[in-house]
Amino acid sequence: MSQSAQKLRIALDAMGGDFAPANEVQGAVECLRQCNNRFHVVLVGDEPRIQAELQKLDAKGLELSIVHAPDVIDMHDSPVTSIKTKPNSSLVKGITMHKEGAVDAFVSPGNTGAVTAASTLILGRIPGVSRPTVAAIFPSEQGPTLIVDAGAVSDCRPQFLYEFGVMGSIYSEYMFKKKNPRVGLLNIGEEETKGNELAKETFKYISERKGTMNFTGNVEGRDILKGHVDVVVCDGFVGNVLLKFAESIPGYLKFQFKKFADKSILNKLMIGLLRGSLREIFKDMDYTEHGGIPLLGVNGVTIIGHGGSPPKAIKNMLFRAEEVVEYKINQHIQEKLRGQ
Amino acid sequence: MSQSAQKLRIALDAMGGDFAPANEVQGAVECLRQCNNRFHVVLVGDEPRIQAELQKLDAKGLELSIVHAPDVIDMHDSPVTSIKTKPNSSLVKGITMHKEGAVDAFVSPGNTGAVTAASTLILGRIPGVSRPTVAAIFPSEQGPTLIVDAGAVSDCRPQFLYEFGVMGSIYSEYMFKKKNPRVGLLNIGEEETKGNELAKETFKYISERKGTMNFTGNVEGRDILKGHVDVVVCDGFVGNVLLKFAESIPGYLKFQFKKFADKSILNKLMIGLLRGSLREIFKDMDYTEHGGIPLLGVNGVTIIGHGGSPPKAIKNMLFRAEEVVEYKINQHIQEKLRGQ
């Protein structure tokens, strides 16, 4: 294992996921092999356990290093308190390293709430941003659609939603190569008089600030998978409910296919024949493809993944972090929002 | 066409849907044939146009009558104003007939907002109900799951959500034969401290009134299709977004299957072979099976359907109306909520 000062450096929270550190280590190894050591990965976590995982793999010559962080933050710890009480957790240590400039980005398949809170508290916000947002990537008939916010801020003000839209628009433009991304406000009707108080006020608020993004008006739940807009703006409560619902669809379909297959031998044969095709068809609904979702608005680069992330998802999260740094997403956000 | 005073009478808004009155008339005819004239259907709408549709079908001997209502309420009319300005619309006339006791239920595939507003204003509320709610029926691994509210009330108070839960529980018990239905509060985490202000307050409010329903705590978006509860309580904004999103899933899957089929002749053959099976597998996600969604809490029986309802959905809406009357759903709601 070697280190290189010139290369981009990404800290990976090796203890964050449900299968830590095995999946994290394997994902990092696969990532560096695939990109020929294009960047350097710092595995942050329990060193002996990480070493044990590395022993199982062929990690020689890879741009990997380990920073020991033995404390563990679990689901029941308060994120805010943990930052003070567990400075040697992989989460707090990794983000602190990023804050101090030792790494260029931080990636974690840990608890979304904890990663968001720790990133916001330690890294701070980009000037002009009221609340950082967690974006979710939905599939659609017209490519990836971004949902902001997907869970960072439950109770929102119009200004927050407006900023989510601007940040989502920048992410969509650079990461998904969408030109002048269409931004829609999630609502329960197309007319501007529709919706709850927040939606009505937000429609007005954004309409008065149209210059900063391509706001196309209200969209409904049915417009998301159609890809009628590139960025869907909503509060974090609605977004999180939607995200978790959407993520449960493949499991439900699998259940239905299994029920059908169990009805007869012919059915079983048909489904068996189609297994590979079904996997391909449902590929877009698979979160491991995108890897992780970005935390936008913090003064640094944080990519959040699923607790259950397989190595492939970890690998893709590292690539996402690299892109966010390379495309200077944060700088673009600051330029658009500062002084608004 | 004959009339019978003893039979249950259901008014059908024959002008409400996107394909009115063709689908409405055909649905009514199919319904009465299937149930051997078990009840009587009053087609409310433009008489000449309804007659013209009846001419195309064999409607002799069916329990059908027509009440002429030439006015049309369109999507752009304000529901509240329309009630005064368009008393001869099929919507206002049908509900007024129900209010006056001329029919036992009212069924409409029209604009949800207009049907809800007109029903609430004309029929009034069941004593003890603060806000009527539109329930949506979701499929799940454990049978139908009710989402209340699915769009009637965008800005809610904890009391409203509590009442939605009680009404949903009763509907689920009688209509879906679920014993002691499990009621969950839709949230973004399982712990009672999670969520937005409304969810936190509602958790407390319902917990203090547990006796009236089987409240099992918070549920997340991912629990819905799993069938972890029978009734999911949420505000009408979240519920409506979810409903419209869920309804768009079959179309998205169809798009993905088509894209896959278009890739090669072999793929096309495979999908062709599986067409019937896919239809069966996705049957539960098809709203036409349930027909319509009930408006709960109004002092009468109103079933609301999709604007695009095919005849089969219209038929099923009429059956749902019959059941709601027979099971005395409103009486059960009043018994539970009066004096709460």
pTM, two decimals, is 0.93
**By C-alpha distance, which of A12, A10, A8 is closest to A108?**
A12
Task: Name residue, tokens 């958790």.
Answer: B203
Residue-wise pLDDT for B185-239, tens only, equals 999 988 888 899 999 999 999 999 978 999 999 999 999 999 999 999 999 999 9
pLDDT by residue (tens digit) across B70-86?
Answer: 987 776 777 788 888 88
Tell me the β-bridge partners of B103: none
pLDDT above 90 covers a percentage of chain A that reads 75
With 70 as the cut, is the pLDDT of residue B68 above it?
A: yes
Query: What is the pLDDT at residue B1?
Result: 44
The Cα B234–Cα B231 span in angstroms is 10
Give yes or no for residue B322 having a pLDDT over 80. yes
Is pLDDT of A170 > 70?
Answer: yes
> What are the backbone dihedrals phi and psi of residue B88, each rounded to the nearest 5 degrees, phi first?
-100, 25
CA atoms of B142 and B181, how far apart (whole Å): 12
Question: Residue B45 gets which letter from DSSP?
Answer: E
Which pLDDT score, from 0 to 100, does residue B292 have?
A: 85
Please, which pLDDT band fits residue B53 given cuts at 50, 70 and 90? very high
pLDDT at A1: 44
pLDDT tens for each residue of A122-150: 999 999 999 999 999 999 999 999 999 99
Contact A242/B237, CB-based, under 8 Å?
no
Mean of the per-residue pLDDT values of chain A = 92
Q: Is residue B79 within 8 Å of residue B41, measured between CB atoms?
A: no
| pLDDT at site A191 | 86
Report whether A196 contacts B155 (CB < 8 A). yes
The reply to whether residue A220 touches residue B241, judged by beta carbons under 8 angstroms, is yes
What is the percentage of chain B residues whose pLDDT exceeds 90?
75
For residue B195, the chain A residue with the least C-alpha distance is A154
* Angle of helix B236-247 versus helix B249-261 axis, rounded to 10: 20
Q: Could you give the percent of chain B with pLDDT greater than 70?
A: 97
Could you tell me the pLDDT band of residue A340, with boundaries at 50, 70 and 90? low
Q: Which residue has the tokens 């203090």?
A: B208
Kindly state the tokens that stand for B240.
């409506």
Say whether A221 and B199 touch across the interface (CB within 8 A).
no
- The predicted pLDDT at position A124 comes to 97
Contact B241 A247 (CB under 8 A): no
Chain B contact present for A234, CB below 8 A: yes
Model confidence at A339: pLDDT above 80: no
Give yes or no for B233 touching A (CB within 8 A). no
Specify the DSSP class assigned to residue B183. Answer: E
Task: Give residue A70's identity as a one-letter amino acid code.
Answer: P
pLDDT of B16 reads 87
Interchain CB contact of A242 with B (< 8 Å): yes
Q: Which two tokens stand for residue B202?
A: 């509602």
- The answer to whether residue B2 scores a pLDDT higher than 50 is no
What is the rounded CA–CA span in Å between residue B309 and residue B317?
10
- Which amino acid would we find at residue A162? Y
User: What stretch of H or E contains B219?
Assistant: strand B214-219
Q: d(Cα B15, Cα A340) in Å, to the nearest integer?
A: 49
Q: Residue B327: which residues within 8 A CB-CB, separation 6 or more?
A: B174, B175
C-alpha to C-alpha distance for A325 and A10, rounded to whole angstroms: 10
B282 shares contact with chain A (CB less than 8 Å)? yes
Q: Tell me the domains of chain A and their CATH numbers.
A: 1-129+287-340 (3.40.50), 136-247 (3.40.718.10)
Contact A245 B224 (CB under 8 A): yes
pLDDT in tens, B116-171: 999 999 999 999 999 999 999 999 999 999 999 999 999 999 999 999 999 999 99
Backbone dihedral angles phi then psi of residue B284, each to the nearest 5 degrees: -65, -20
Mean pLDDT (whole number) for A287-293: 75
Chain-centre distance for alpha carbon B238:
17
The least confident of A1-5, A335-339, B91-95 is: A1-5
d(CA A18, CA A35): 26
d(CA B301, CA B216): 29
Residues of B in contact with A155 (CB under 8 A): 196-197
Q: Which residue has the tokens 């700088």?
A: A331
What is residue A286's DSSP assignment?
A: -
The reply to whether residue B155 touches residue A197, judged by beta carbons under 8 angstroms, is yes
* Per-residue burial over B245-268, b = 16 or more CB atoms within 10 Å of its CB, e = otherwise: bbbbbbebbebbbeebbeeeeebe
**Is pLDDT larger for residue B270 or for residue B28?**
B28
Distance from CA of A251 to the nearest CA of B (A): 9
Interface of A with B in 181-220 (CB under 8 A): 186, 188-189, 195-197, 199, 220
Q: Is the ipTM of this complex over 0.90?
A: yes
Q: Which residues of A touch B247 (CB under 8 A)?
A: 221-222
SS3 content of chain A, % helix, strand, coil (to 5): 50, 15, 35
Give the pLDDT confidence score for residue A271 in this predicted structure. Answer: 85
Q: Please give the sequence-ordered ranges of beta strands (E in DSSP) within B89-130, or none if there are none.
A: 105-108
How many Cβ atoms sit within 10 Å of the Cβ of residue A39? 21
Band (pLDDT 50/70/90 cuts) for residue A2 is: very low
